[in-house]
A and B are shown apart, each in its own frame.
Chain A
Amino acid sequence: MNDVTPCPPHLDAAVEESATDFLALYRTHFPFVWRSVRQLGVDASAVDDVVQEVFLVVHKRLATFEGRSSIRTWLFGIVRRVVADRRKSMRRKPSTPMEPSSLDRVVPPVSPFTELESFELVCVLLDTLDETKREVFVLAELEGMTLAEIAQATSTNPNTVAARLRAARAAFECALLEHETRDHEGGLR
């Protein structure tokens, strides 16, 4: 590779430092970003692309992160925009349940289905929520964020988050009951 012109040493060091910072951030927050993308309903087959797109945006914008919010809320703000853009461009296929994805690649075949079933059921139930309810619900109930954090992550205020969360919980429980009712149909008829 003698045909490349080396950069000046100081620039090389700056680039390397910046890349190292980014890589550290990436490794720390990759699981959160991945989970968020999945929890917002991106199909298993598309999650790699979406996560990568998120981190490419992060890479571009990292220097502009001002620390006014936590890094996770900042990241989620990027996640939701990338996911929303993707939905617009794909016109979101109507609720095909998410595939079990990598789970069935790593779960030993002897395992019972309980956890996988739970995951799939939650995916189906989450698909019944609209986008604003869904994001508030997953951040609160699956990521354990506070209302203030969710407000930052979704660019709204805590009162709105509280109202959305209340509605989302009711809708989720209602969807679960609908599911149970169908499940009990055999007994009811």
Chain B
Amino acid sequence: MTLDPRTRALLDAARSGFSPTAEDAARNEAALLAALGVASVGAAKAGTAAKLLASAKSTVASVAGKVLVSTFVLASAAGVVHATRQAEPAPAAPPAIAASASAFEPSPAPECASPLASRSDPEFAPPLPSPSAPALESTPAHAPASAFASASLHASGVPSPSPPSSPSPPSTLEQELVLLRLGTARLRAGDAAAALSAFDDHARRFPNGLLEEERAAGRARALCASNRVEGRLARDAFLAAHPDSPQADVVRRACADAK
């Protein structure tokens, strides 16, 4: 599996925060040289230490002079941050890792294709477009930390509208999606009980929700994963109610060994 694009964007935006500043570099180099001057070079090597220190100082000045202004653009966001960082390029996003990772991975079960339900994920293909369905794009980033929550809802590749000028609450469909994604992610993380809790929470909050079918599928899978006897019943009920569901196979596989 690879990371969801919005998770990737979050990591990319955060990466520079882990980097030292020029000030950090200068402070650390001076401290290290001081430590080495005592521990290694020794008093007898004061001349060498002094040369190293002088060299370090010039490098520090050079580094300080070479600071760059990095521009960070968040996929979801509204903002551009300018930060002064040390002139070492942050590591690039690792395109190779996904390919190399997949080479070692067994074929992922289809139900684990994405815990975050991209639009192409049949597990969470919401019944859209529907004239009555609330638009996914209606949710703004109402707080910086939640920008990614909103970003996840824009991860379909569909161009996002301009950032809205005022916050508005999440749409009902969006709220449904959050719970179902949570359930699926927990399933994939192997925590069936917690997954079931998310699906049950969805059932309580949205008994007639647009994503009832997805919830029923997830719930059946969670029950089967818990090895509970209700799993088979939930599977049978799901398959009876939704025989043509794109998730029917997923549920069958998940419940193949159900009691």
A contacts, CB < 8 Å to B? 1, 4-7, 12, 15-16, 19-20, 23, 26-27, 30-31, 34-35, 38-39, 48, 51-52, 55-56, 59, 100, 102-103, 105-108, 111-123, 140-148, 158-159, 161-163, 165-167, 169-174, 176-181, 183-184, 186-188
Q: B52 contacts A173, CB within 8 Å? A: no
Secondary structure call for the B interface: helix
Q: Report Cα–Cα, A116/B83, bound state, in Å.
A: 10
User: Is A19 a contact partner of B18 (Cβ separation < 8 A)?
Assistant: no
B interface residues, tally (CB under 8 Å)? 90
A114, B79: Cβ atoms under 8 Å? yes
B: which residues have CB within 8 A of A?
Answer: 1-4, 7-8, 10-11, 13-21, 23-25, 27-29, 31-32, 35-36, 39-41, 43-48, 51-52, 55-56, 59, 72, 74, 77-86, 88, 91-94, 96-97, 100-101, 104-105, 112, 115-116, 143-149, 152, 169-170, 174-175, 178-179, 181-182, 185-186, 188-189, 191, 198, 205
* With known contacts A106-B83, A184-B149, A114–B74 Cβ distance under 8 A: yes
- The CA of A55 and the CA of B14, in the complex, are separated in Å by 25
Whether B97 pairs with A141 at a CB distance below 8 angstroms is yes
Complex contacts, B18 vs chain A, CB 8 Å: 34-35, 38-39, 119, 142
Evaluate contact between A173 and B97: CB separation under 8 angstroms: no
Assembly CA distance A187 to B146 (angstroms): 13
Cβ–Cβ < 8 Å partners of B175 in chain A? 184, 187-188
- Are A184 and B44 closer than 8 Å at their CB atoms? no
A141 → B minimal CB distance (Å): 5
Alpha-carbon separation in the docked complex, A167 to B1 (Å): 10
Query: Closest 4 interchain pairs by CB?
Result: A119-B17, A112-B79, A144-B94, A162-B104
Residues on B with C-beta less than 8 A from A181 are: 178-179, 182, 198
Which of A122, A165, A176 has the most chain B CB within a 10 Å cutoff? A176
- Bound Cα distance A82, B185 (Å): 33
Q: List 5 A-B contacts (CB under 8 A).
A: A34-B28, A107-B82, A108-B82, A113-B79, A147-B100
Given A7-B44, A115-B79; 8 other pairs, CB 8 A cutoff: A112-B77, A112-B80, A115-B72, A165-B101, A172-B3, A172-B7, A173-B116, A179-B145
Question: Contacts A35-B19, A115-B17, A184-B149: A177 and B100 contacting too (C-beta < 8 A)?
Answer: no
